[in-house]
């Protein structure tokens, strides 16, 4: 496949490695220094685009891919306020997009088991629950997209929580969490690729359910596999459409 990489930063470079190893050709690489290369004509040279750019640029990059008629895999986080608009453009305009807050297989297994665990915990109201995420200090968005997906999974299954709230540790902001709110604590620590933990705490014990990425390799390989999966499809997809975790 011919691939356009939109966002040639930490993730874009690793995606290039995996894509090349798997026999694909990179026909376009865009970062903040050469955005003038991000044109419809250049995008049309690709079979698929992969966007790992910034929360502020993701939406316009997606729309340009649609205008060029190129399917796009989106790993960028922090733009999900525009999901419904993008979904509408897919449906109405026969455009193609797959997005995921996290492309690693391990996190997608985690997402599934997290919902099962939350459903079980309805029976045990003595447990308070919270989500913790730790990422490197260059991360622009908080909470992480992965933490939002985890929180939404809990909210969909656990009756005693109605909404999530986010505390960025170290921001100095005064914080009070109401009983029906699910706290997502965000920590920023040098060089951490991504650690997510769901913690159920009672007076007598804690249950901790954790995913720890050792590097960015799992995210990058997952994005290339998603591009391969998307090649012959049309429409709006989430990475969950690629997996079957039924037991």
Ligand X SMILES: O=C(O)C1=N[C@H](C(=O)O)C[C@H](O)C1
Residue ranges that bind ligand NAI, judged by CB under 6 A: 6-12, 30-32, 35, 38, 52-55, 57, 61, 75-78, 100-103, 219
Indicate which of ligand X, ligand NAI, none lies near residue 64 (CB less than 5 to 8 Å, by partner kind).
none
Indicate which of ligand NAI, ligand X, none lies near residue 54 (CB less than 5 to 8 Å, by partner kind).
ligand NAI
Yes or no: say if 43 and 28 are a contact pair by the CB < 8 Å rule. Answer: yes
Q: Exposure string (b/e) for 21-52, b if CB count within 10 Å is 16 or more?
A: eeebebbbbbbeeeeeebeeebbeebbbbbbb
Show the site string, 193-222: x = touches ligand X by CB under 6 A, - = not: -x------------------------x---
Residue 117 or residue 239: which is nearer to ligand X going by CB?
239
Residue 74 Cβ vs ligand NAI, minimum distance, rounded to whole Å = 8
Q: Which of 24, 135, 161, 211 is catalytic?
A: 135
Indicate which of ligand NAI, ligand X, none lies near residue 135 (CB less than 5 to 8 Å, by partner kind).
ligand X
Return the closest-CA partner of residue 75 out of 50, 93, 96. 50
**Binding segment for ligand X among 58-66, 81-89, 142-150, 202-210 (CB under 6 A)?**
142-150
Q: Can 139 be counted among the known catalytic residues?
A: yes
Query: What is the spatial distance between Cα 230 and Cα 39, in angstroms, rounded to a whole number?
Result: 22
Give 168's contacts (C-beta < 8 A, 6+ positions apart).
142, 186, 188
Beta bridge partners of 74: 51, 99
Q: Can 45 be counted among the known catalytic residues?
A: no
**Binding site residue list for (S)-2,3,4,5-tetrahydrodipicolinate:** 136, 145-146
């Amino acid at each position: 496949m011919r691939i356009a990489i939109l966002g040639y930063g930490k993730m874009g470079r690793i995606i290039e490695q995996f894509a090349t190893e798997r026999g694909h050709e990179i026909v376009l690489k865009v970062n903040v220094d050469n955005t003038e290369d991000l044109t419809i004509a250049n995008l049309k040279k690709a079979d698929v685009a992969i966007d790992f750019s910034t929360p502020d640029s993701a939406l316009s990059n997606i729309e340009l891919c649609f205008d060029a008629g190129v399917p796009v895999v989106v790993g960028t986080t922090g733009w999900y306020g525009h999901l419904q608009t993008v979904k509408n453009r897919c449906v109405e305009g026969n455009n193609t997009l797959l997005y995921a807050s996290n492309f690693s297989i391990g996190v997608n297994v985690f997402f599934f088991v997290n919902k099962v665990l939350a459903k079980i915990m309805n029976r045990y109201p003595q447990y308070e629950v919270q989500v913790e995420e730790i990422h490197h200090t260059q991360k622009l968005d908080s909470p992480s997209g992965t933490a939002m997906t985890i929180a939404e999974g809990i909210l969909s299954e656990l009756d005693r929580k109605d909404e999530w709230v986010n505390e960025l540790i170290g921001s100095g902001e005064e914080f009070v969490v109401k009983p029906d709110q699910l706290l997502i604590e965000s920590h920023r620590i040098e060089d951490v690729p991504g650690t997510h933990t769901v913690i159920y705490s009672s007076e007598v014990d804690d249950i901790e359910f954790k995913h720890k990425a050792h590097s960015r390799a799992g995210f990058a390989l997952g994005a290339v596999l998603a591009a391969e999966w998307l090649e012959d499809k049309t429409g709006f997809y989430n990475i969950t459409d690629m997996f079957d975790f039924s037991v």
